[in-house]
Amino acid sequence: MTTAGVGGRGAVAGPEPADAHAVRAERAQFRRHAPAIVTAVAMLGLWQLVVTGFGVPTYIAPSPVQVAQVFVEQGDVLWINFWPTLLEAMAGFALGNTIAVLLAVWFVHNRLAERAFYPIAVFVNTIPIIAVAPILVLMLGNGYAPKIVIAALICFFPTLVNMVRGLKAVSPQMLELMRVLSASDREILWKIRLQSSLPFLFAALKIASTTCVIGAIVGEWIGSNYGLGSLIIEATYNFRAPLLYATVILGAGLAVAAFTTTSLIERRVLKWKPGAVF
């Protein structure tokens, strides 16, 4: 839609149609993700060529086609073991991050508590999770509980560190202004500290969204008859390489989905923050 310019010297374009704007947005989205898609397809093609060209035995490295056949022929086995891992990872994610955020708020308002418990948190984080897992299995049994606790532990420390840093990342001038306005500690927390901590928190949550899956799978390695971790061990010991690769890919897909979901929530919450890769 155009309108005549002054003296007939040209035309001024009207508002862009909504469908045209949507098409442009979709094209921009595709261009942003196209390099990753092309790279993934190229790597799959190279994988197929190497396995086929060098005659690599299936029990060592199956081809992408053989792995894809597992998803079709043994999809029920994969999905049955997928849901327990998903439950353990998400429960551990929620538990570990909730405790980390609450402790960070406590540390910011109580320096004595920070000096007393922060070093202990650092010490616990230095213990390899593969060493902690058997202890938790002995204490809590072979059910969901130890896997959830392991996933929570692996999420806990990054969120605690980032949240403490974020809650303290408030300018002294802003704090002084709030005190002049007679704001209470609770009001400063809700109106100032939490707002400043959100970028730090989401940075930690994106890390935790992937590591919680690792924690759940590690817990299943130690002692479990279900879950992706248990299926990985079973496929490894029985030289079922296609099933092993399919299970690993499914676990990686779960971690990527959790990371992408966290990034989308971050984009919704922090609309003022520049967009990231996802």
| Residue-level length of the chain | 278
CB atoms within 10 A of CB 158: 20
Say if CB 69 and CB 241 are below 8 A apart.
no
Contacts 24+ apart (CB under 8 A), 248-251: 249/67, 250/78, 250/82, 251/85, 251/213, 251/217
Which CATH code of 3.30.870.10, 1.20.1560.10, 1.10.3720.10, 1.10.10.10 fits the domain covering 60-269?
A: 1.10.3720.10
Q: What is the pLDDT of residue 190?
A: 81
Amino acid identity for residue 58 in this structure: T
pTM: 0.81
Q: Is the pLDDT of residue 4 over 50?
A: no
Q: What is the pLDDT of residue 8?
A: 47
Q: What is the DSSP letter of 60?
A: T
Q: What is the pLDDT of residue 15?
A: 55
Say if CB 204 and CB 161 are below 8 A apart.
yes
Pairwise CA distance, residues 65 & 63, whole Å: 5
Task: Compute and round to an integer the Cα radius of gyration of the chain.
Answer: 25
Pairwise CA distance, residues 232 & 234, whole Å: 6
What would the pLDDT profile of 153-185 be if each residue is shown by its tens digit?
999 999 999 999 988 887 777 777 777 777 777
* pLDDT band at residue 188 under the 50/70/90 scheme: confident
Q: Is the pLDDT of residue 193 over 60?
A: yes
Amino acid identity for residue 238 in this structure: N
Can you tell me the mean pLDDT for 249-272? 90
Token pair 């990371």 in the structure block, residue: 259
Q: What is the mean pLDDT of the chain?
A: 84
Q: Which of 8-22, 61-75, 103-117 has the lowest mean pLDDT?
A: 8-22
Amino acid identity for residue 15 in this structure: P
Can you tell me the mean pLDDT for 43-52? 88
Can you tell me the mean pLDDT for 188-203? 85
Say if CB 250 and CB 82 are below 8 A apart.
yes
Q: Is the pLDDT of residue 213 over 90?
A: yes
Among the listed residues 111, 105, 153, 107, the one whose alpha carbon sits nearest the alpha carbon of residue 128:
153
Say if CB 168 and CB 108 are below 8 A apart.
yes
* pLDDT band at residue 132 under the 50/70/90 scheme: confident
Distance of CA 97 to CAs 89, 116, 216, Å?
12, 20, 15
> In the chain, pLDDT over 90 holds for what percent of residues?
41
**Angle formed at CA 193 by CA 175 and CA 276, multiple of 5 degrees:** 130
Q: What is the pLDDT of residue 104?
A: 93
